[in-house]
Amino acid sequence: MSDDERPTDGELTQELRDSLSELAVPERPSLAAIAGRGRVHRRRRRAAFAGLGGATSAVVIALALGLTGVFGTAPGRGSGTVQTADFTLTSYVNGTVALRLGQVFDPAALQRALAQHHIAALVRTDTYCSSNPAVPAPVSRHVLNLPDPGGTRQQRATPPNILLTGNFPVMPSQLAPSVDPVTIVLSPAAMPSGTELFIGNYDLGHTILVSVVHTGSHTCQYSQEPPGAPWDKHSPGRR
Amino acid sequence: MSQDDAEFAEFFAASWGPCLRAVAAVTGDMTLAEDQLAEAFARAWACWPKVSHHPAPRAWVVRTALNAGASAWHRRSRETALTSHDIAAADSQGTGLDSAVLTALRHLPARQREVIVLRVFLDLDIDTTARQLGIAPGTVRAHLSRAMTALRGELVPAMTTEIGR
């Protein structure tokens, strides 16, 4: 068959679309059925966060103190602020960097922006990167806040949607699907030498995972879900 | 009914058919696609304030549905690397899912299929497709080009056979 007889991209595209439009689809389920299933998701999520609230109360207190230090500080003159439609990176004079992330972001652009702020990072979508042996993550050296959808008075008094990581490495952190955007406060100086930040964005579960890996000896694999939720074995309050 | 509920109801009514066709075309199984999509819409309902601000909510739903399917498949096959959303096309006959072009589509690597779904089926532009998949626009073009080449390769013999019959 000559090249002239081969379908063009346009013809193929049309053929694909035609084939799709010819598919007979069953009637959609009732909205009530979808909402009922959706309520199960909401309940699970709230239950998970309720469990976290009890387990991490000490962390929440530390968080409130930490936030004063971070957000009461003017942005530094170094790298300044990088703002895109998807994320904002702001350097503070105390050396921390606040990263505000929307649900969808360009991993490559974020990785470049972090590099501008002198943060070595791997940013990937649907990919999990880890080191073996893992970078040690002493619980006492990091602070973690997961926003409570219900919120206590104390939590509501703090800026919303903050995950504060005063030290590295941080443990994998699953953020609430309802939290958008989220803000992560990074302390680059606290990163152990020879390591870099890993940020994984997973559409399934609408999760952002933050961890630290060894720069020269990590492996990455395709993964549509982060490996394990923080309220499982990684939860600081349960160690 | 709140404004959010009304918006979701409208989105659900308008998007169910197109999204189901896209998911079924990739999985090759209408019943399975229906279940995966219902799950995806339920998740969308659960975080609708967020999904409604997504640049391409239908793409979010379709990807969530496909990911849910792949995840279930992955759970069933822990020992096998997750490389595709291939599901047995048990009920494809008679539904239109067994057309040559859709069968050829299911032979593509997972990433190429995702690009076809977003770019061709959901009519997203290259940049939006790239953002959805977390890859560069140039990579989307490359996947699209490879997918088209592969589809041509699969379809030409089929077309020749049909003509020769």
| B134 contact residues in A (CB cutoff 8 A) | 106-107, 124-126, 201
Structure tokens at A149: 């959808």
The share of chain B scoring above pLDDT 70, in percent, equals 76
Structure tokens at B121: 């089926």
The pairing of beta strand A162-164 with beta strand A182-186: parallel
| B16 contact residues in A (CB cutoff 8 A) | 25, 28
Residue B157 confidence (pLDDT) above 70? no
| A178 contact residues in B (CB cutoff 8 A) | 47, 49-50
Counting Cα atoms < 13 Å in the Cβ hemisphere of A227 gives 10
Chain B residue at shortest CA distance from A38: B42
CB contact under 8 A, A16 and B22: no
Q: How many domains would you assign to chain B? A: 1
Residue-wise pLDDT for B28-69, tens only, equals 888 888 888 998 999 899 888 878 888 889 998 998 888 765
Enumerate residues 22 to 41 of chain A having a beta carbon within 8 A of any beta carbon in chain B.
22-26, 28-29, 31, 33-35, 37-41
CB contact under 8 A, B42 and A34: yes
Structure tokens at B31: 């019943």
The shortest C-alpha distance from A93 to chain B (Å) reads 32
Which tops the pLDDT comparison, B161 or A95?
A95
Counting Cα atoms < 13 Å in the Cβ hemisphere of A167 gives 12
The share of chain B scoring above pLDDT 90, in percent, equals 13
Q: Write phi, then psi, for A52 (nearest 5 degrees).
A: -65, -40
Q: What does the alpha-carbon distance between residue B123 and residue B119 come to, in Å, rounded to a whole number?
A: 5
Q: What does the alpha-carbon distance between residue A52 and residue A148 come to, in Å, rounded to a whole number?
A: 9
Identity of the residue in A19, A37, A225 whose CB atom sits nearest the CB atom of B38: A37
Enumerate residues 91 to 110 of chain A having a beta carbon within 8 A of any beta carbon in chain B.
103-104, 106-108
For residues B90-98, give the mean pLDDT: 56
Residue-wise pLDDT for B18-30, tens only, equals 999 999 888 888 8
Q: What is the CATH number of the domain that holds B7?
A: 1.20.140
pTM over 0.90: no
* 10-residue averages of pLDDT along chain A (239 residues): 63 82 84 87 55 30 27 44 76 76 74 86 84 56 36 32 31 36 70 80 64 82 60 31
Q: What is the residue range of B59's domain?
A: 3-164
Contact at 8 Å (CB) between A163 and A185? yes
List for chain B the helix, strand, coil content (%; round to 5): 75, 0, 25
Contact at 8 Å (CB) between A64 and A154? yes
Identity of the residue in A6, A106, A178 whose CB atom sits nearest the CB atom of B47: A178
